[in-house]
Structure 1
Amino acid sequence: MVLEYSTGILSTIPSNLVVLVEIGLMIIVASIFAYLVKILKQPLMPAYIFTGILIGPLVLGLIKDIYLIESLSYIGAAFLIFIAGLEIKLSKLKEVGSVSSIGGVFQIGILLFISFFIALALGFVGKEPIYIALVVAFSSTMVVVKLLSDKRSINSLHGRIIIGILLFQDIAAIIAMTILTSDFSTSSILISVLKAIIFAVAAFLLAIGIRPVLKVSAKNQELLLLVSISILFLFAIGSIFAELSIIIGAFFAGVALANSDYKIDIEGKIAPLRDFFAVIFFVALGMRLELIPLKFVTILLLLIFMVMIIKPLTIMFIVRLFGYKKITSFLSANALAQTSEFSLIIVTTGLTLGHISNHLFSTIVLLTVITMSLSTYLITNEKKLYNIFSSPLNFLESFHSKREKSLEYIKDDGRKVLIFGCHRMGSLFLKEFEKEKENVLVIDYNPEIIRSLIEKKIPCIYGDLSNKEVLEKAKIGDAETVISTIPDFEENLMLIKKTRELNKKALIFIVADRISEALDLYKNGADYVILPQVIGGQKGFEIIKSIKNGQISVKQLKKQHLNYLNSIHHILY
């Protein structure tokens, strides 16, 4: 009935406007569902897929030109992978070291092996076990990087390990895509890999040759956008002529621009286009879903267990074996408990090539939606989860934490002043305490900052204020002054609570972003809450007033300020 009614309405639309109406319907319905899930503070991707289910052939059947929508969705996939390629920065690969390279390869290999044979045991034949194994092995760069950035954890030790593992997973996914688009004969695989290597070399050469063009283009933001998109389509078209997936071309286009000086600008300009076409990609996925038999429901539950339990445990053991602490191992593993956007692209390719069934395709799309959605909560609440599972994971302490032993410099005496967070504002506090640095202890989760402090013989510990072990090592009960420059409201509340439990007399200074947060922090026991915007406004007014009253000239003030800025510019590095 509903299908007949919707068909009747669409039949009255002029043929040259049908495409406009169908794309418009997709965006309008997707926007409504996205708005609703955003109010509920849920991930947006399931809303887009649900839109596809609703307006697709499974329910309302509003979209008739499925092939056009699928073509547009390929552009969305290309933009998604282009952005992933932009994250492949050579300097990052150098930073993360053996745990991300060797450990990442081991993680992929172990999960491929386990998942492949489980798929065989479940009765899958042909190429389907390969697709299942690949889906389980990879995690989402898009989801994880976004959440780590939101939590300001991208430069933490576990953040760097995660990014490194994701980079190697993305490279492995591209290799897998190259092989999957061949006919699986040895000669075909070798030819496909050779083509991919040629693309990689072309990306490297382009990265060098494109610099003058980008330098000129950067002066005009519209031109920079056009040049960036042109490079994306150049590689995508090249991959088509080379009989490779356009995803491979899009990935290497991103790699070509990843090490340029204009990477941030390019990402900013491409993001709106990526988001628009990504919506179409996820809606198109929803339109291709179909009801799955009971057998596949059981398989779906087993795959969720593999992705969200077995994979994190595997990664946690690997990171621990490389000598990192229990908390670093847990946080690294917890963040990777989902399937990848590459999984969706891999299974879409598999369905198009006839390698997998519609039922398996729908199962894997559901798996991706569920694991990506659940992992959002896991990453958001990672510290709470660690505190819950810390005791059961004590068996990991039997492994030696050699890697992080070097990330601390502690003296038995002192520790009268604790500074949590030593970047920007924290480093300014450190400068003011320079004469009594023996009495200061800095706690920070950026390993570069900790190494810099160790070189300067300033007492420091790697970690953050939500870690009970760090607070115990810092001897917070003996401190006279506790300063937190980390603008995380929940963590600062916890710090105040822990400090007051152990130390009633300590002075507590906290940084906050909002006035409402500052008022709550005062209620919970903070002695003084620093609001940078408020203090900046007050200081700015005092400066203007002193100039107008003739107390100091603008020239003198500027000279003093430049001297001060030069003195603090390289406190840490």
Structure 2
Amino acid sequence: MASSAILLFTDYFNHPSIPAYILAGIIVGRFFPQEEMLSFVQIGLAFLVFIFGVKMDPERLRSVAKESQIAGGIQITVIGLISLTAGYFLFNFNPINSILFTLSAVLSSTLVGLDILEREIHINLTHARLAESIHLTQDVIAILILIGLGSVQTILTNIPQNLYYGLMIIAASLAFRQILFDQLTKLTGGSRELMMLLSITVLSAFIGAAQYFNISLAVGSFAAGLAVSKYPYNIEILDTTGSLKDFFSAIFFVSLGALITTPTQKVLMVSALLIALTSIFKPYTVITALILQGHNKRTSYLTGMSIDQVSELALIIAIQTHLAGIMNDVLFQAIILTATFSMLTSSYTQRHKEEIYRFMSKYDILPDAETTIRTRIDGKLENHVILVGYDTQGKRLADKLKEENQQFVVLENDPEKVEELHDNNDNYIFSDIMEDETWQKAEIEEAKLIISTIPLRSASNKITGLETDADIILRSEEVKEAEKLLENDKVIYVNIPDMTGAELLSDHIEGIMENVNYREELRRKNMLELRKYLQSEEG
């Protein structure tokens, strides 16, 4: 009830929901024992870890795996050494508590970090895949630690046995995914309700197995998610369990806020350092590592800023070790306080990421390095087409432009796609379209047409704000947004996947290239189609 009232207030002022839940938890925490709230946190986390397992698709991350793993490894090493030294020598923690302090500093929240990047992940942007890969690596480390710890009752008593049982559960989930899952999904007959019941049944079974072998519930939840993560069924499971995810997210954040108590001076000191390591030094280390590997500043920045939180799996480790009497109360309260603060601020840093990036760029806060950004331009660009993005649609459009013997250059930020462009001997610029330098390299003043295949409003706004006489074709996922974009006189067409496809757009290329009247008629028809679609939806 408290969270609903605060959520209405924050929603009215267009603020993120996470701070509302945490604030509600701080209020209700005054009326409930901390032991009860610890149980609620673990229940909420168990389901959210399951959702992470369902989303996991390592195959999609291969093109950035090397760079992300190097960046993640550097971050874990640098921040790990700093935090381990500080825990042992500055705060006089014993070796185990120093290690637990280090884990809280180096691991980041998949729940918060990737949830905020959900749309960017969906459309396969490079920084989103880099972030997803870093989070995946960290979560695998955390899961292995949880397996080794065992349950609260058996924590640290038999690590080899815990590892054996835990890895056996993970292996069973992979076997289920490969052998049984397809057969069981066929039995559901395409029913969404049965699909949801199947996923909940699998979750219950693996949590039961984890309890039987005295392994952390989070391990069972992760294994269950992994078991049903097969594409495209996992998309339907995520869709049908969306309301449950929102419910358990609320439970988790409210319970987290309720765990906060009045901090002592030492708790504040430990938390202050942990906040600095988590929210400042950890992202900056990843940003630097990616820039040194040749990624542009904006991609590196957006990736680094996705890990400025304490991991929910680190919270599970903290709760288990605290309940078992291993983690001291000062460290536990500092971790809870830092996790709450970092998850709260992360919502706002992500919302205002572009403003923060412009500020950091203006004052040269981001590191400089010789980049390995590749550019291939054959001859002088003149009266050419700038093609933004080289996904499925971009490839079809590039083929059509070749058929028309039209000079073009592709702006792309994905290393794998750039390799494909290089092999095809096509013109390309490997850079970020939000950077002015990218458009200067693309000879924007000489271009006659810009075609964007990226359905992000920020990308469309950047393109329409360019000083150019070129006609513009954009892409959007929302009809109302498309209608708004067409109000700009330079925009002659907005492609919407639900209404039009790449093949239809490519059919217009010849007319757009050769005939001014064709462009004007195309714009008029596009606007009429959008209005007709909106009227049918409203009617």
Say yes or no: TM over 0.5.
yes
In the alignment, is the contact (CA less than 8 A) between 1:37 and 1:44 conserved in 2?
A: yes
Shift of 1:67: 6.0
Residue deviations 1:173-211, cap 9 Å, x none? Answer: 1122233447786x7222222222222222222222322
Residue deviations 1:78-100, cap 9 Å, x none? Answer: 11111122233241354433223
The residue type equivalent to 1:315 in the other structure is V
- Partner in structure 2 of residue 341 of structure 1: 312
- Partner in structure 2 of residue 306 of structure 1: 277
Q: 1:357 to 1:389 in 2, by over 3 A?
A: same
Contiguous gaps of at least 5 residues in structure 2: 505-539
In the alignment, is the contact (CA less than 8 A) between 2:298 and 2:432 conserved in 1?
A: no
In the alignment, is the contact (CA less than 8 A) between 1:90 and 1:259 conserved in 2?
A: no
Shift of 1:463: 3.4
From 28, 52, 55, give the equivalent of 1:87. 55
CA distance in 2, matches of 1:30, 1:361: 25
Of 264-273 and 433-442, more deviation after overlay is shown by 433-442
Q: Are positions 1:295 and 2:269 aligned together?
A: no
Counterparts of 1:488-499 in structure 2 under 5 Å?
488-498=456-466
Residue deviations 1:393-452, cap 9 Å, x none? Answer: 675323x52xx53xx532232351112234466556545433345511122334454444
Of 510-519 and 304-313, more deviation after overlay is shown by 510-519
In the alignment, is the contact (CA less than 8 A) between 2:412 and 2:432 conserved in 1?
A: yes
CA distance in 2, matches of 1:93, 1:466: 23
Q: Are positions 1:77 and 2:45 aligned together?
A: yes
Q: Secondary structure of 1:397's partner?
A: coil
Shift of 1:506: 3.0
- Partner in structure 1 of residue 513 of structure 2: none
Of 163-172 and 447-456, more deviation after overlay is shown by 447-456
Residue deviations 1:272-300, cap 9 Å, x none? Answer: 22322332233223333211023322332
CA distance in 2, matches of 1:375, 1:437: 48
CA distance in 2, matches of 1:534, 1:246: 41
From 174, 177, 182, give the equivalent of 1:204. 174
Shift of 1:263: 1.2
Q: Secondary structure of 2:162's partner?
A: helix
From 418, 421, 428, give the equivalent of 1:460. 428
Contiguous gaps of at least 5 residues in structure 1: 1-27, 541-573
Q: Are positions 1:48 and 2:59 aligned together?
A: no
Higher relative contact order (CA 8 A, sep 6+): 2
CA distance in 2, matches of 1:124, 1:290: 22
Q: Secondary structure of 2:137's partner?
A: helix
- Partner in structure 2 of residue 414 of structure 1: 381
Q: Are positions 1:190 and 2:160 aligned together?
A: yes
Give the TM-score, by structure 2 length.
0.81
Residue deviations 1:241-296, cap 9 Å, x none? Answer: 21111111111121222235411112222232232233223322333321102332
Counterparts of 1:125-164 in structure 2 under 5 Å?
125-126=93-94, 127-151=96-120, 155-164=124-133
Counterparts of 1:517-536 in structure 2 under 5 Å?
518=483, 522=487, 526-528=490-492, 530=494, 532=496
Counterparts of 1:40-439 in structure 2 under 5 Å?
40-56=13-29, 58=30, 61=31, 63=32, 70-92=38-60, 94-126=62-94, 127-151=96-120, 155-181=124-150, 188-211=158-181, 212-217=183-188, 219-259=190-230, 261-390=232-361, 392=364, 396-398=368-370, 400-401=371-372, 404-405=373-374, 408-415=375-382, 416-423=384-391, 426=394, 429-439=397-407
Residue deviations 1:509-546, cap 9 Å, x none? Answer: 445545577557646x625353649986xxx9xxxxxx
Shift of 1:117: 1.5
Q: Secondary structure of 1:292's partner?
A: coil
CA distance in 2, matches of 1:509, 1:240: 56
Q: 1:511 to 1:326 in 2, by over 3 A?
A: closer
Q: Are positions 1:444 and 2:412 aligned together?
A: yes
Residue deviations 1:335-390, cap 9 Å, x none? Answer: 22222222332222233222334443333223223222322333344444444334
Q: Of the two, which has the highest radius of gyration?
A: 1
In the alignment, is the contact (CA less than 8 A) between 1:343 and 1:368 conserved in 2?
A: no
- Partner in structure 1 of residue 514 of structure 2: none
Of 307-316 and 72-81, more deviation after overlay is shown by 72-81
The residue type equivalent to 1:506 in the other structure is A
CA distance in 1, matches of 2:219, 2:189: 26
Shift of 1:33: 1.6
Q: Secondary structure of 1:258's partner?
A: coil
Give the TM-score, by structure 1 length.
0.77
CA distance in 1, matches of 2:484, 2:44: 45
CA distance in 2, matches of 1:493, 1:388: 19
The residue type equivalent to 2:377 in the other structure is I
In the alignment, is the contact (CA less than 8 A) between 1:207 and 1:260 conserved in 2?
A: no
CA distance in 2, matches of 1:443, 1:114: 39
In the alignment, is the contact (CA less than 8 A) between 2:80 and 2:105 conserved in 1?
A: yes
Q: Secondary structure of 2:386's partner?
A: strand
Q: Secondary structure of 1:528's partner?
A: strand
Q: 1:134 to 1:72 in 2, by over 3 A?
A: same
CA distance in 2, matches of 1:215, 1:282: 36
CA distance in 2, matches of 1:308, 1:331: 13
Q: Secondary structure of 2:429's partner?
A: strand
In the alignment, is the contact (CA less than 8 A) between 1:156 and 1:447 conserved in 2?
A: no
Task: Tell me the C-alpha RMSD between the 2 structures.
Answer: 3.2
CA distance in 1, matches of 2:189, 2:41: 29
In the alignment, is the contact (CA less than 8 A) between 2:74 and 2:286 conserved in 1?
A: no
**Length, aligned pairs only:** 495
The residue type equivalent to 2:91 in the other structure is G
Shift of 1:110: 3.0
- Partner in structure 2 of residue 544 of structure 1: none
Q: 1:46 to 1:342 in 2, by over 3 A?
A: farther
The residue type equivalent to 2:313 in the other structure is F
- Partner in structure 2 of residue 6 of structure 1: none
Residue deviations 1:137-177, cap 9 Å, x none? Answer: 11121222222223467522222221111111000111222
The residue type equivalent to 1:469 in the other structure is E
In the alignment, is the contact (CA less than 8 A) between 1:119 and 1:129 conserved in 2?
A: yes
Residue deviations 1:306-346, cap 9 Å, x none? Answer: 11221112212332344434443333222222222223322
The residue type equivalent to 2:9 in the other structure is L
Q: 1:358 to 1:173 in 2, by over 3 A?
A: same
Q: 1:80 to 1:409 in 2, by over 3 A?
A: same
- Between the aligned residues of both structures, percent identity stands at 26
